[in-house]
């Protein structure tokens, strides 16, 4: 998928992502303020997360429960200083659960990312538009 969108299209974008990926580990790339957390919130809403959704900037990971008693893990590695911090967090164990793992700033733990994870690249365009590319 390579598409331009606005906030009005967010629900459709999230639905498309959920229905088109086989791997539940999603890597969100893009500059600060591009809308990574906003998109993650919509994805979480659509997969039935019951908990309040917020960026885990200081805790590194938030764990959410869905209406189907499944877990969703939301990571934010913006403030991480070394990959060892994620390793010490047990990042590989999260990946092995088979649950949704939604990762902001994955470039900061590049050597720890699982093979086959879906890359989602977001770019700010003019007029409140964004571009999304799935790889």
Please report the pLDDT score of residue 58 as a whole number.
84
106/108 Cα distance (integer angstroms): 5
Please report the pLDDT score of residue 57 as a whole number.
83
107/118 Cα distance (integer angstroms): 13
Closest CA to 109 of 130, 95, 124: 95
86/90 Cα distance (integer angstroms): 7
> Phi, psi (5° rounding) for residue 69?
65, 25
Q: What is the pLDDT along the chain (135 residues), one digit of tens a residue?
A: 999 999 999 999 999 999 999 999 999 999 999 999 999 999 999 999 999 999 898 889 999 999 999 999 999 999 999 999 999 999 999 999 999 999 999 999 999 999 999 999 999 999 889 999 999
Which of helix, strand or coil describes residue 66? strand
User: Residue 76: beta bridge partners?
Assistant: 104
Please report the pLDDT score of residue 121 as a whole number.
98
35/107 Cα distance (integer angstroms): 17
Please report the pLDDT score of residue 29 as a whole number.
98
10 Å CB burial of residue 14 (0-12, 13-18, 19+) is buried
pTM for this model (two decimals): 0.96
Tokens representing 74 are 């939301």
64/44 Cα distance (integer angstroms): 9
- In the chain, the domains with their CATH numbers are 2-134 (3.40.50.300)
Tokens representing 96 are 């092995």
């Amino acid at each position: 998928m390579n598409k331009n969108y606005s906030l009005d299209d967010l629900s459709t974008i999230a639905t498309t992502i959920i229905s088109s990926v086989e791997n539940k580990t999603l890597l969100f790339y893009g500059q600060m303020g591009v809308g990574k957390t906003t998109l993650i919130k919509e994805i979480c809403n659509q997969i039935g997360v019951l908990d309040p959704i917020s960026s885990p900037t200081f805790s590194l990971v938030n764990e959410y429960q869905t209406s189907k008693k499944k877990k969703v893990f939301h990571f934010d590695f913006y403030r991480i200083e070394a990959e060892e911090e994620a390793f010490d967090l047990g990042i590989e164990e999260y990946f092995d659960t088979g649950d949704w793992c939604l990762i902001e700033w994955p470039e900061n733990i590049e050597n720890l990312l699982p093979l086959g994870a879906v890359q989602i690249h977001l770019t700010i365009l003019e007029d409140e538009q964004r571009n999304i590319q799935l790889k």
